[in-house]
Amino acid sequence: KQEVTQIPAALSVPEGENLVLNCSFTDSAIYNLQWFRQDPGKGLTSLLLIQSSQREQTSGRLNASLDKSSGRSTLYIAASQPGDSATYLCAVPWAGNMLTFGGGTRLMVKP
Amino acid sequence: DAGVIQSPRHEVTEMGQEVTLRCKPISGHDYLFWYRQTMMRGLELLIYFNNNVPIDDSGMPEDRFSAKMPNASFSTLKIQPSEPRDSAVYFCASTRSSGAEAFFGQGTRLTVV
């Protein structure tokens, strides 16, 4: 069964810093990995989907990388803003379609 | 498209009562998923459907939980009877095809007192 771990569990940074969130998974036989953002009391918003054939995916100030062989993905946020404060979750599918989620990284960007 | 729509957004009920959560997936999406989120266990998959057919319900915690998808645009998750430990946020998600990008609804926050 797939297990997904996210480090750190919480992160507090001053505005403007570049930061990296980490995600690791135990079964490297995946065909994609998805990063989500969750605001308090809200649903999950899809940020990026990386296919296994890709190594990186970019959207605005966000860049996600995937290294299947080592079972790792990183989400890079450039020039962080207070509006980036949220919980970030990574998820990988196993047995075809069932997403397994990490525990999330709770990010606080201070003005 | 309005995205995945769930109702109600909040539900407070007494122990022993029946609770029904509703979900409308994105039009054209063939897969529908029900997840539960708690502080202790994070996000857990309960059940998923493909073309209205339940494929895997191994995450359904007990026989008190049941889910249906009578047509491509509607699904329900029912808990009968409800218990305080069922209190959680329940999310519905849909994907266009196998392994495609997943889109989530805003969730239903269930409180059983």
User: pLDDT for B101-112, tens place per residue?
Assistant: 999 999 999 999
* Mean pLDDT value of segment B53-82: 95
Q: Report CB contact under 8 Å: B102, A103.
A: no
Q: Which of A46, A98, A100 is the closest to B101 by Cβ?
A: A46
pLDDT of residue B2: 81
By percentage, how much of chain B surpasses pLDDT 70? 99
User: Exposed/middle/buried for B16, CB within 10 Å: 0-12, 13-18, 19+?
Assistant: exposed
* Mean pLDDT value of segment B35-39: 95
User: Is A32 touching B (CB cutoff 8 A)?
Assistant: yes
CB < 8 Å to A45, chain B? 104
User: Comparing A96 with A72, which gets the higher pLDDT?
Assistant: A72
pLDDT of residue B40: 92
Contact A63, A56 (CB under 8 A): yes
Supply angle C-alpha A71, A74, A79, rounded to 5.
175
pLDDT of residue A34: 95
Rounded to 10 degrees, what is the CA torsion of A98, B30, B33, A47? 70
Phi, psi dihedrals of residue A104, rounded to the nearest 5°: 95, 155
**Rounded alpha-carbon distances, angstroms, from residue B91 to A4, A5, A67, B63, B86:** 19, 21, 29, 19, 13
Q: How confident is the model at residue B100 (pLDDT cuts 50, 70, 90)?
A: confident
- Tokens representing residue B75 in the block: 């699904």
User: Is A91 touching B (CB cutoff 8 A)?
Assistant: yes
Contacts of A106 (CB under 8 A, 6+ apart): A9, A10, A11, A86, A87
Q: How confident is the model at residue A93 (pLDDT cuts 50, 70, 90)?
A: confident
Phi, psi dihedrals of residue B67, rounded to the nearest 5°: -140, 145
Read off the pLDDT of residues A42-81 as tens digits, 9 standing for 90 and up: 999 999 999 988 889 999 999 999 999 999 999 999 999 9
Of B97, B87, B74, nearest in space to B17 by CA: B87
By percentage, how much of chain B surpasses pLDDT 90? 93
Q: Is residue A96 over pLDDT 80? A: no
Q: Is residue A41 over pLDDT 80? A: yes
pLDDT of residue B1: 67
Q: Is B101 helix (H, G, I), strand (E, B) or coil?
A: coil
Contact A107, A9 (CB under 8 A): no
